[in-house]
Chains A and B, each alone.
Chain A
Amino acid sequence: MAEPTIFDLSVAGRTGVTFPEPDVPETALPKGFLREKLQLPEMSELEVVRHFTSISQKNYAIDLGFYPLGSCTMKYNPKINEVVSRLPGFAATHPLQPIDTVQGNLFLMYSLQEMLKEIAGFAAVTLQPAAGAQGELVGTLIIHKYHQERGDHQRTRMLIPDSAHGTNPASSAMLGFEVVPLPSDERGNVDIAALKELCDDRLAGLMFTNPNTLGLFDENVCEVVDIVHKAGGLVYGDGANMNALLGVFRPGDVGIDILHFNLHKTFSTPHGGGGPGSGPVAVQQHLVDYLPDPIVGIIDEGDEETAPLYGFIHPEKSIGRIKSFYGHFGMHIRAYTYIAMLGQEGLRDVAEIAVLNANYLQEKLKDTFTLPYDRPCMHEFVLEGYWKDVPDIHALDIAKRLMDYDFHPPTNYFPLIVHEALMIEPTETETKETLDRFVDAMRKIAEEARTNPELLHNAPHNTPVRRADELKAAKDLVLCCYVGDDWPGVQE
């Protein structure tokens, strides 16, 4: 049975919360501005609780099982994060309070900036960006402004490897950069010859994901950075895959100019069913003045008796404000907590085990599936979800069949350069037993593809709904619950 919507459940006259009657003398309402009808659901508190509990049970989630969604780093989200970020001392602070009343918040943000600088090897960090894609926008804005300031107006081309995530070209295009695709070589690295050819005085920069979306560390990283720099461009690092590098390698050490983090991947803040994310951006010394306005800094060093005073700094050549206030503070608290609990040792352990888990799965699966780039991988790897002997089975079928085995499918059809891609990222928080069960399921599915392909074509079988008609959704667009004039919930 489909769960009714909150509008179906509405009965005129009910309410889930009541508020006190006004305790002040009444003022007349603003005539001419009053709305006539307000079609919101009317439900009791229990009905609301049951409804959302019931629909929650139709979700798959990390708390329920293995979620090897490549590029998304679906690791365990520690419960302590949820507790500390809700402490009233944080949650009940208003963003416009005087700074001396929020020294705790500012200290935490300053410390997180310092931690991220240290982890990735940069000179400064902004916590403002709301997500990875907004971090990219900050980065590309910095690249734009940097070239403008230097009078390099002809630098309008952004090189983007063909394996890059869709947000990379989309962010560049938002600023009017010409997006120039950069091919990968047969080992999955940036094609150096092609890069050299594209490096002229029109080059603004390169958006470089390393490890890339194939899960491979670009072996020529130093050379790539060098070539771009020699041509006068800047290198933007998409740090979505930093989970592989914590405590192992710092992108800043090889001269990457700008890097965004995804706190909601690498640093354990929850994905929340699509967000909120948090995408801090780190820069090298020569770009510090371009950071978004404001960033958190020490505005008075203090002395033996008085603690330093934290406040806001307004970078000189700032690209400006990128969102309201200071970023997703609730996510900053969670990431700070996570890093505090790991330290150098724990961070390195995260990267090592994430890479160990991925290589283990890669090794176990590469006989059953085609592995287009047969090299040690980093935190993830990409298989082909396709066999020549059963050509009507696709990555999508394999993905859907995995649901019948109680697994979340890998990312499919991305990166675009692998045919029928299945992108698998186990993360470090999964046990060997879980990985083994996943291997069994994948091998079983490969067998089923030959013996009973209909099982795959019709999968999933046991989920709350089965394959949904996406064409119909797009054709007969229904984007709202039905609330007609005959809706009982609206009777006055």
Chain B
Amino acid sequence: MFTPHTKHDVEVMLNSIGVGKIEDLFQEIPEQFRYPDLNLAPRLTEMETAGQLESIAAANATTKDLLSFLGAGAYDHYIPAAVDNLLQRGEFYTAYTPYQPEISQGTLQAIFEFQTLICKLTGMDVSNASHYDGATAAAEAVILAYGNFRNKRKKVLVSRAVNPQYRQVIRTYMQADSSLKIVGDEIETGIAPDMQKFIDQIDHDTALVIVQYPDFFGRIIDYTQLIETAHQFGALVAVAVNPTALGMLTPPGDIGADIAFGEGQPLGIPLSYGGPYLGFFAVKNALLRKLAGRLVGETTDVEGKLAYVLTLTAREQHIRREKASSNICSNQGLMTLAATIYMSLLGKHGLQQVANLCYQKAHYTADQLSGISGFSLVDETTPFFHEFVVKCDEPVEEVLEHLLQHNILGGYNLGHDYPELENHLMLAVTEKISREDIEYLSAVLQEENHG
């Protein structure tokens, strides 16, 4: 289908190689295993394939068909048309990693700009060119921290209010070393906003403290005391951040974070059922040499012209092999480009506007829901960004089912990850949700309650 060879081409080529037929080129493959019969559907033309894919897609109900209050790590934001239009330039998406700077300046400059945007957004000094997603960025923070203390500090404290999937991935990555302790997210330590029980666990064996901002439940928590304490014990602090919220909130760099990382999906990347997304990762200068992943730096060419190149590559697997700071090779290149274009288009004012819209609409939603009997806000005092938790008197599954019957994706059932939060529902509200949508949600919930 995609092979351009005519019969004649094949003959001429075989001739010049000096073999009679293509199969002769595969003589080194043990004969009894050669040319297995594959049980695959017969090939389709492009037209047929397009039709098939359209009907598979039609079997889904989407966030366009349904009014969605789902968040919990992936958010439905408006993506300006120019983002995807530019991403579809073949010069960008059909290029490889920019190992040859002379013919990769487009990709390199875009990454350089991305690094700058992430630093400006988070208040950090150095950003890498991406990790796979927020969860693997969390695992890389842990690896960086252990390495920073040459494995002498054996403990990482991760708050229970950090995205459960991030915590799972950290444990997956670190499972082979039984001397390491990933603690602090036990049910006993809890999720109280004062975090006192968590802070009390910071000690001289602690390499890293990980918190999220806003946290998994959407709460905006003051981490100044926590960071101070961690630093008194010589530990590093990594803050997982929602980039949209940073249109409004004090950046982690300003409150003393050593590492800021997060899920970049809200920055112009479609939900796409969970991926590909974008892990961003930034550090203070002191940790620069410990940073994993690709980095683009500025230099000049032989004529003195400004040029961008991949730099400090001696940290990476293709040079250092088993001594590399991470095994990462392919990263999220095109997704960093999406985020770079998104942030360029929105700029300062656009991002401030989106953050404010999310905040305002989420608060209006919370306000509406708190007036419905059978539903109560779990926390009336801690500030929150665009996500919040409601306790339901009835089983959440039933509430969600009722909402779905009215074409609403009601949010995330926290009982899945938190046994202590059975019948707690988490809702996310973005700029795409209108006042009518919110009032429709509350009308349907009223009905649920009285119906």
Contacts and interface: CB of A to CB of B under 8 A. Distances in A.
Contacts of A331: 275-276
Interface in B320-364: 320-324, 326-335, 337, 340-341, 343-354, 356-357, 359-361, 363-364
A42 interface: yes
A355 B345 contact: no
A165 B318 CA distance: 7
Given A5-B116, A356-B14, A463-B103, A33 B5 contact: no
A166 interface: yes
Interface in A125-154: 130-134, 136-137, 141, 144-145
B270 interface: yes
B3 A429 contact: yes
Interface stretch (B127-135, B195-203, B228-236): B127-135
B96 A273 contact: yes
Given A90-B57, A270-B93, A323-B132, A169 B400 contact: no
Contacts of B45: 341
A322 B404 contact: no
B363 to A, nearest CB: 4
Nearest to A210: B29
A75 B10 CA distance: 19
Interface residues of A, number: 200
B434 A23 contact: yes
A40 B276 contact: no
Interface in A387-404: 399-400, 403
Contacts of B191: none
A25 B344 CA distance: 29
A436 to B, nearest CB: 10
A134 B136 contact: yes
Highest count of chain B CB atoms <10 Å: which of A10, A15, A118: A15
A363 B331 contact: no
A470 B309 contact: yes
A472 B299 contact: yes
A352 interface: yes
A44 to B, nearest CB: 9
Interface in A14-66: 14-20, 22-27, 29-30, 32-36, 38-43, 45, 48-49, 51-53, 55-64
Interface stretch (A97-105, A190-198, A280-288, A442-450): A97-105
B302 interface: yes
A437 to B, nearest CB: 14
B100 A272 contact: no
Nearest to A2: B306
Given A56-B89, A353-B3, A94 B63 contact: yes
A371 interface: no
A343 B278 CA distance: 32
B421 interface: no
B276 A166 contact: no
A33 B88 contact: no
Interface stretch (B77-85, B204-212, B443-451): B77-85
A209 interface: no
A214 interface: no
Interface string B275-286: 111000000000
Nearest to A60: B103
B106 interface: yes
B364 A24 contact: yes
Contacts of B372: none
Interface string B140-180: 00010000000000000000000001101101110111000
Given A40-B348, A271-B95, A428 B2 contact: yes
A429 B50 contact: no
Interface in B387-414: 400, 404, 409, 412
Contact of B317 (A52, A133, A403, A474): A133
Interface in B99-123: 100-107, 109-113, 115-117, 119-121
Nearest to A345: B43
Contacts of A118: 38-40
Nearest to B134: A324
Given A89-B62, A173-B323, A469-B300, A324 B135 contact: yes
B346 A466 contact: no
Contact of A460 (B85, B102, B246): B102
Contact of B72 (A29, A96, A144, A330): A96
A355 B335 contact: no
Interface stretch (A228-236, A297-305, A332-340): A332-340
Contact of B3 (A62, A321, A428, A464): A428
B61 interface: yes
B276 A130 contact: yes
A341 B56 contact: no
Contacts of B247: 38
A346 B351 contact: no
B187 interface: no
B420 interface: no
A87 B349 CA distance: 30
Contacts of A271: 93-97, 330, 333
Contacts of A171: 327
B364 A25 contact: yes
Interface in A53-112: 53, 55-64, 67, 69, 72, 74-78, 80, 82-98, 101-105, 107-108
Contacts of A176: 176-177
A118 B36 CA distance: 10
Nearest to A65: B103
Contacts of A339: 40
Highest count of chain B CB atoms <10 Å: which of A41, A63, A349: A41
B57 A87 contact: yes
Nearest to B342: A17
A6 interface: yes
A172 B347 contact: no
B142 to A, nearest CB: 11
Contacts of B321: 166, 169-170, 179
A446 B254 CA distance: 57
B60 to A, nearest CB: 4
Given A33-B222, A277-B330, A173 B322 contact: yes
Contacts of B275: 95, 130, 276, 323-331
B76 interface: yes
B3 A341 contact: no
B20 interface: no
B192 interface: no
B90 A64 contact: yes
B249 A474 contact: no
B188 interface: no
A431 B309 CA distance: 32
Contacts of A15: 346-350
B274 A327 contact: yes
Given A87-B53, A92-B63, A483-B116, 10 more contacts: A35-B246, A59-B105, A90-B60, A133-B328, A173-B327, A274-B111, A276-B275, A337-B53, A356-B13, A464-B102
9 contacts: A24-B364, A48-B82, A57-B106, A61-B93, A134-B327, A272-B95, A275-B332, A324-B275, A350-B2
